[in-house]
């Protein structure tokens, strides 16, 4: 069977890796970081492949029900992320996010081995293949593990990960792992945590000094960057313009219309998604409701002009450019809560820049169904849910194999010419409005480009679906019009769309 699960390494080659790491650099970080493997009498109470329901208001130490019709994990398991594959018996338990000073955010969890053999998370550590993403969706930003370090040796190779990511985990045991990210703004209260082939979960952010954060030497290092950036998402109208929305907080500093370094990377990503070499570009700036009308109007105009000027340099002279500012006149979310108190997440969504690109010579779109292998092998697709979250949609879907033999299913989250033109790779979701006039594509995460995944979607590679088993996949796309109640979800490899209701923000 060729289904890829969790990319764990067996302990025999792992021991050699640890020995080489320690011997080559003599660094205590190679074996001193993080907690050692700890015994755990609790075993996974359900098969993998299903999301755990965890709202943003839950605490990291509270129990989270498992959406699988089986008993919830013990309370000390906290927020749990299960595997995407039904073969995956390992899971991340008690996931917590804790601020580590004003500039850093620590992700910490207990990786539990529910298999019958010894495993390791060492495959997650290579910076070119590292599969971690944190999403601050109200601010349209994604974060990747920090790679900066002030010390040579083991740490400089792997970045801000605790040294015990190479440690073996025996059957039925757990190990506490730590990864360090740049911190979101102080007003952010929770983030969506996505790790390798685990189903993402929403996790609240605990304050600096929280007892939920276990001591780890990697927390004592400091960095000089955030390794974060805006989510770049395309929404294309049938036969018309393609729209992009970028968060102003990442494009600009507070009270500034000067583009940040992260903005340049986001605009480069946007340009790659433009299907054509000539046309028209309109840029619109928008602000939140804080400040006077005149101040917000001027700032929105200046920011729109700055983005238009940057795109002019990147797209070239075959496009015409126009910029306009709307100040605070077109909010997309409430600036205040129903009780009149401030709504930071709503205001963050209102601070954005919209770009509309109309091309006069678009390349012919690729067929929606790039591969028919999924249909030919009798695989079944279903949509588990479409949830509205911070101005985006999080779609979770399942690919099931009813047959008694493994079914080929090649899922690979890497940008291809076909996907850029509008086609879909196997298992890739796209969200269409029910009128069929607009199509939202997977968002591209910010931060350092990753070698082995391109989109804010399932980051693992799968080659087949096990007999009688399933794979749970997910993806983030732009949100349709605010009052939309249902959408049509198109899944690469399956010809028919799935009409699905939208679940409101949780």
Alpha-carbon gap, residue 74 to 66, rounded angstroms: 11
Whether residues 184 and 116 fall in one domain: yes
Residue 103 has pLDDT above 50, yes or no: yes
Whether residues 311 and 447 fall in one domain: no
Q: What is the pLDDT of residue 14?
A: 28
Domain membership flag for residue 1: no
Q: For 46-60, 110-124, 429-443, 463-477, which range has the lowest pLDDT when averaged over its residues?
A: 46-60
Q: What is the pLDDT of residue 420?
A: 53
Whether residues 382 and 461 fall in one domain: yes
Domain membership flag for residue 4: no
Q: What is the pLDDT of residue 495?
A: 83
Q: For 302-316, 337-351, 436-450, which range has the lowest pLDDT when averaged over its residues?
A: 436-450
Q: For 22-26, 167-171, 491-495, which range has the lowest pLDDT when averaged over its residues?
A: 22-26
Rg (CA), the chain: 23
Whether residues 215 and 322 fall in one domain: no
Whether residues 35 and 136 fall in one domain: yes
Residue 104 has pLDDT above 90, yes or no: yes
Q: Per-residue pLDDT averaged across 293-304, rounded?
A: 95
Cβ proximity of 204 and 119 under 8 Å: no
Domain membership flag for residue 6: no
pTM of the model: 0.81
pLDDT tens-digit map of 15-29: 222 222 222 222 221
Most confident region among 170-179, 245-254, 408-417 by mean pLDDT: 170-179
Written in H, E and C, the secondary structure of 314-377 is HHCCCEEEEEEECCCCCCCCCCECCCCCECHHHHHHHCEEEEEEEECCCCCCCCCECCCHHHHC
Residue 235 has pLDDT above 80, yes or no: yes
Give the pLDDT band (50/70/90) at residue 376: low
Domain membership flag for residue 366: no
Q: 351: domain CATH number? A: 3.30.1330.60
Q: What is the pLDDT of residue 76?
A: 67
Q: What is the pLDDT of residue 7?
A: 41
Domain membership flag for residue 147: yes
Whether residues 65 and 201 fall in one domain: yes
104 φ, ψ (degrees, to nearest 5): -130, 155
Q: What is the pLDDT of residue 43?
A: 32
Domain membership flag for residue 315: yes
Whether residues 179 and 251 fall in one domain: no
Q: Across 380-450, where does the E strand assignment appear?
A: 380-389, 392-400, 407-411, 429-432, 438-440
Q: What is the pLDDT of residue 293?
A: 94
Q: What is the pLDDT of residue 18?
A: 25
Q: Per-residue pLDDT averaged across 82-96, rounded?
A: 91
Residue 286 has pLDDT above 90, yes or no: yes
Domain membership flag for residue 187: yes
Q: 411: domain CATH number? A: 2.60.40
Whether residues 223 and 247 fall in one domain: no
Last residue of a domain, one of 228, 263, 287: 228
Q: What is the residue-wise DSSP string for 45-62? A: -S-SS--B---TTS-TTS
On average, the pLDDT of the chain sits at: 79
Last residue of a domain, one of 359, 389, 422: 359
Residue 248 has pLDDT above 80, yes or no: yes
Q: What is the pLDDT of residue 3?
A: 39
Q: What is the pLDDT of residue 84?
A: 94
Alpha-carbon gap, residue 446 to 125, rounded angstroms: 19
Domain membership flag for residue 367: no
Residue 256 has pLDDT above 70, yes or no: yes
Alpha-carbon gap, residue 424 to 413, rounded angstroms: 10
Q: Per-residue pLDDT averaged across 29-39, rounded?
A: 32
Whether residues 429 and 486 fall in one domain: yes
Name the percent of the chain lying above pLDDT 70: 77
Last residue of a domain, one of 313, 328, 359: 359
Whether residues 410 and 491 fall in one domain: yes
Residue 300 has pLDDT above 60, yes or no: yes
Alpha-carbon gap, residue 64 to 67, rounded angstroms: 9
**Secondary structure tally for the chain: helices H, strands E:** 9, 24
Give the pLDDT band (50/70/90) at residue 74: very low
Q: What is the pLDDT of residue 90?
A: 86
User: What is the span of the domain harbouring residue 168?
Assistant: 11-228
Tokens of 238: 């049938």
Whether residues 220 and 240 fall in one domain: no
What total number of domains does the chain contain?
3
Whether residues 381 and 484 fall in one domain: yes
Q: What is the pLDDT of residue 48?
A: 32
420 C-beta neighbours (distance < 10 Å), count:
17
């Amino acid at each position: 069977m060729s289904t890829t699960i969790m990319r764990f390494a067996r302990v025999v080659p792992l021991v050699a890796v640890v020995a080489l790491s320690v011997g080559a650099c003599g660094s205590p970080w190679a074996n001193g970081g993080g907690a050692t493997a700890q015994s755990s009498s609790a075993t996974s109470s359900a098969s993998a492949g299903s999301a755990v329901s965890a709202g943003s208001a839950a605490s990291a130490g509270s129990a989270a029900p498992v959406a699988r019709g089986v008993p919830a994990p013990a309370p000390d398991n906290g927020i749990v992320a299960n595997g995407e594959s039904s073969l995956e018996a390992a899971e991340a338990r008690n996931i917590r996010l804790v601020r580590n000073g004003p500039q850093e955010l620590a992700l910490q969890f207990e990786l539990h081995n529910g298999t019958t053999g010894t495993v390791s998370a060492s495959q997650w550590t290579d910076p070119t293949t590292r599969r971690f993403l944190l999403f601050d969706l109200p601010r349209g930003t994604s974060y990747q593990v920090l790679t900066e370090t002030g010390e040579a040796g083991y740490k400089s190779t792997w970045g801000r990960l605790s040294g015990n990511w190479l440690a073996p985990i025996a059957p039925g045991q757990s190990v506490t792992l730590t990864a360090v990210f740049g911190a979101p703004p102080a007003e952010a209260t929770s983030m969506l945590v996505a790790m390798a082939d685990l189903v993402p979960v929403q996790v609240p952010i605990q304050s600096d000094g929280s007892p939920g954060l276990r001591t780890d030497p990697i927390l004592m290092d400091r960095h000089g960057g955030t390794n974060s950036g805006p989510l770049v998402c395309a929404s294309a109208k049938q036969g018309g313009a393609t729209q992009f929305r970028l968060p102003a907080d990442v494009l600009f500093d507070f009270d500034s219309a000067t583009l940040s370094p992260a903005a340049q990377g986001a605009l480069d990503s946007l340009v790659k998604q433009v299907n054509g070499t000539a046309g028209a570009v309109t840029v619109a700036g928008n602000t939140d409701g804080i400040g006077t009308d005149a101040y917000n109007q001027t700032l929105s105009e200046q920011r729109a002009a700055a983005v238009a000027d940057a795109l002019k340099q990147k797209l070239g002279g075959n496009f015409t450019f126009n910029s306009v500012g709307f100040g605070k006149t077109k909010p997309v979310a409430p600036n205040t809560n129903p009780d009149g108190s401030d709504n930071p997440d709503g205001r963050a969504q209102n601070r954005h820049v919209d770009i509309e690109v109309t091309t006069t010579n678009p390349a012919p779109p690729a067929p929606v169904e790039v591969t028919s292998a999924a249909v030919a092998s009798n695989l079944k697709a279903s949509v588990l849910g479409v949830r509205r979250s911070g101005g985006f949609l999080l779609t979770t879907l399942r690919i099931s194999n009813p047959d008694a033999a493994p079914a080929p299913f090649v899922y690979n989250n890497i940008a291809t010419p076909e996907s850029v033109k509008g086609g879909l790779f196997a298992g890739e979701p796209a969200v269409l409005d029910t009128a069929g006039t607009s199509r939202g594509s997977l968002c591209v995460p910010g931060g350092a480009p990753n070698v082995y995944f391109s989109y804010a979607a399932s980051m693992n590679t799968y080659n087949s679906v096990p007999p009688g088993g399933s794979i749970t996949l997910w993806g983030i796309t732009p949100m349709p019009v605010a009052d939309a109640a249902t959408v049509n979800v198109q899944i690469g490899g399956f010809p028919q769309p799935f009409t699905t209701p939208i679940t409101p923000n949780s």
